[in-house]
Amino acid sequence: MMKKNLKLACPILCISMACLLISPMTFSKSFPYDERGSVRIDTIQIHLINPTEDQSLNQRIIDQVRKNIAIFPGESISEEKLDFITARVRNSLRLDNLSYDAETSMGGGLNLTLEITLNDKQSVTEKGYLIDRNKKTLPLLYDNNGKYLKAKLELLSMYYGNNNAWYAQPEKMLNGNPLVNGSPAGGGYDDWLEAFVHTGLYGMYPLGINTFSYAGLSGIGTLSTGQELFTDKTRNHFAVEDAYVGVVTGKTTMSGNRIVSNTSIGRQKFSLGDGLLIINTASNGSDRAALQSNARWAGDLVFQSQLQYNKTKFELFYVDPDELPVIDSKTKIQGVNIQTNFFNGIDVGVSYLKVPHSSSIYYLPDGSTRTRDGLRVIDGRFRWQPLINGKPSWFFATEYAQQSHEDFNMRAQASSYELAYQWSDLTMSPSLGYRYASFSGDDPNTQQYERWDPLFSGGNGEQWVQGVNHFKIVQNSNLITHRLQARFKPNPKVEIVPQFWLFRADSKLNLGGNPALSFIDSKDYGREFNISAKYYYSRNLYIHSQLAYTQPGDAVKNVLGDGVKDWWSSMLFVRYAF
């Protein structure tokens, strides 16, 4: 066992030690990698690279960029969208350059820095490979007078290993699971490799002085081979990922207020808030391969219409997620979202959504069933992340959501509370935080149905994927979690994130979860420790490693019986993108 555990840990330890030894001087500017492609913005700073001698003029230029950029803390943004926005503002304000740098924040979001370079000639500078034939300008192909075209190429290769997956009881834990094909992982050590290639084109075209159209088209090819969690079959797959069009327009009033309208439709990513309700709008694994690298995020059809007035955004949306065919619930979601940013790092959001169609089933204690079709959800969010003397310190976030149903008596609840602190002046800028989260289970002694429907929750392990291994056993329903999370930055481009989790059930009735755990005699699901090392080597190259150890609790042990073993997993992936 010790040798197997060392085998799991070696790739993690090697890359972590290498990260500590590399000088910060080797790093270039980067956009922190996130699996889903979009990252929440926590702070924004704007710097003038070549200021004039007139300080008041410098401040007016910075204010003008801030108003035209129309991005505020609390929003989620992708690298493609940020490229669109900076290109539009650079051309409209006739700047020589408007670039950005970014790093992850204490709360797992983005600290964004915009850098302005003034143009002495006050004329639009042409850029891009199709103009200057300079390979150094790639992936930018064309940027002139509001016309913008950029290529995308993303390559990712991942190694994943498990020791005693499914607590060494795959026959019981996966009985009847439609994702099983061939032999799943189980007792002993199993590993596999997976990879994907994502390539496409993203562009913008001016329709008027303040109006722009934009579009994206891309495809993803995936490959998995080896002993995966659900199968030992080698698979490959190719499909369209992004395929969307949109129109954005905006104006600044005489009083200095900024109004922006943005409408888009097609295959694209969508997330609501921090992902407690909606973030995983596409599924991976099965015939699509790439189970753990989560290559796909675009829904089959996403419509968004946003109206933003300064820091307040009103949004209508419709989401048809791209689910795996073998477990497609045909769920459609429509809703409205309002969010705003107040002074000193306070963000507030309220959402209402409804499911007009779905075949997803709810199982009631009397043996009857209901469907998700008709589900209603109201959600409220609050986040406070002030800057003290220009540096992050405290972080507090809370979210509460309630579900009801138009066809039967339902009242399910979810809530979370998170408090963290960052010692910005200490070596490695350490932070430590605690999060409590609760997702209600069904009480068989009431007439109401109380089991929380997780919808399309998830994201990554610092959002709502609660536990590297445990999330595969119990997802966000009938679950209470306690999480301790630290964050260390040995240098500006390296992060170490350890987590400790305690998992408990809200109810001993667990119909609708893993069938093996439908009836449990204890609320102790188990506990997990995991650690991640992230290395942002450059804007193009990112390396991520992870080690997780999960112990089953009495709720699992008592159901599975003899032969239950602790679950270890390790992961290492390398991503190259431009």
Tens of pLDDT, residues 292-306: 999 999 999 999 999
Percent of the chain residues topping a pLDDT of 70:
91
Same domain, 265 and 394: no
Give the Cα separation of 489 and 104 in Å (integer): 10
Alpha carbon distance 345, 74 (integer Å)? 9
Position with higher pLDDT, 485 vs 57: 485
In the prediction, which pLDDT does 19 show?
A: 43
Which of 274, 304, 325 is at the close of a domain? 325
Burial 525-546 (b: 16+ CB within 10 A, else e): bbbbbbbbbbbbbebebbbbbb
* Same-domain status, 235 and 156: yes
pLDDT at 14 over 70: no
Q: Are 435 and 290 part of one and the same domain?
A: no
159 occurs within a structural domain = yes
Write down the pLDDT at residue 121.
60
Q: What is the pTM of this model?
A: 0.86
268 & 384 share domain: no
What average pLDDT does range 60-88 have in this prediction?
Answer: 76
Pairwise CA distance, residues 470 & 116, whole Å: 45
Please say if the pLDDT value at position 307 is more than 80. Answer: yes
**183 and 254 co-located in one domain:** yes
- Calculate the alpha carbon distances from 441 to 95, 107, 453, 509 in Å: 55, 28, 9, 7
Label residue 343 exposed, middle or buried (CB < 10 Å: 0-12, 13-18, 19+): exposed
What Rg do the C-alpha atoms of the chain give, in angstroms?
A: 24
Query: How much is the pLDDT for 18?
Result: 44
272 with 173, same domain: the answer is: yes
**Predicted confidence (pLDDT) per residue in 95-108, tens digit:** 878 888 777 776 66
How many domains does the chain fold into?
Answer: 2
Check if the beta carbon of residue 290 is closer than 8 Å to that of residue 196: yes
> pLDDT confidence of 390, banded at 50, 70, 90?
low
Q: Are residues 319 and 428 in the same domain?
A: no
Q: What's the angle, vertex CA 311, arms to CA 63 and CA 122, rounded to 5? A: 30
Question: Residue 146 domain-assigned?
Answer: no
Q: Looking at the domain assignment, is residue 140 inside a domain?
A: no
Domain stop point among 325, 343, 358 = 325
Each residue's pLDDT tens digit, 213-233 = 999 999 999 999 999 999 999
Q: Which residues, 6 or more positions from 222, have their beta carbon under 8 angstroms from its beta carbon?
A: 194, 195, 196, 235, 236, 237, 238, 284, 288, 289, 290, 293, 295
Residue 57 has pLDDT above 90, yes or no: no
> Which pLDDT tens digit goes with each residue over 232-250?
999 999 999 999 999 999 8
Domain boundary among the residues 286, 310, 325 is at: 325
What confidence tier does 49 reach under pLDDT thresholds 50, 70, 90? confident
For residue 340, the enclosing domain spans 329-453
Distance in angstroms (rounded) separating the CA atoms of residues 279 and 271: 4
Q: In which band, very low, low, confident or very high, does the pLDDT at 156 lie, cut at 50, 70 and 90?
A: very high
Query: What digits encode the pLDDT tens for the residues 163-215?
Result: 999 999 999 999 999 999 999 999 999 999 999 999 999 999 999 888 999 99
Q: Are residues 212 and 297 in the same domain?
A: yes
- Position 419 confidence tier, pLDDT thresholds 50, 70, 90: very high
> Does the pLDDT at position 567 exceed 80?
yes
Q: Is residue 564 part of a domain?
A: no
Taking residue 356's Cβ as centre, other Cβ atoms within 10 Å add up to 12
pLDDT for res 545: 97
Tens digit of each residue's pLDDT (9 = 90 or more) over 21-35: 443 333 334 555 565
How much is the pLDDT for 90? 80
Q: C-alpha angle with apex 299: 143 to 544, nearest 5 degrees?
A: 75
Do residue 259 and residue 292 come from a single domain? yes
The set of residues, in sequence order, having a beta carbon less than 8 Å from that of 6 and lying 6+ positions away, is none
Q: Residue 30 domain-assigned?
A: no
370 and 274 both lie in a single domain: no
Kindly report the average pLDDT of the chain as a whole number.
Answer: 88
Give the residue carrying structure tokens 């060494």. Answer: 168
Instruction: pLDDT band for 135, please (50, 70, 90 cuts).
Output: confident
Query: Does the residue 162 lie in any domain?
Result: yes
**Residue 115 pLDDT class (50, 70, 90 cuts):** confident
- pLDDT, position 258: 82
For residues 402 and 305, state if they share a domain: no
Position 505 confidence tier, pLDDT thresholds 50, 70, 90: very high
Q: Is 494 part of a structural domain of the chain? A: no
Number of Cβ within 10 Å of residue 514's Cβ equals 19
My answer on whether 178 and 298 are in the same domain is yes
Reported confidence tier of residue 144, pLDDT bands at 50, 70, 90: confident
Domain presence at residue 399: yes
| 511-566: pLDDT as tens digits | 999 999 999 999 999 999 999 999 988 888 999 999 999 999 999 999 999 999 99
Q: What is the pLDDT of residue 208?
A: 87
Give kind and range of the element (H or E) at residue 301. Answer: strand 301-309
Q: What is the DSSP letter of 327?
A: G
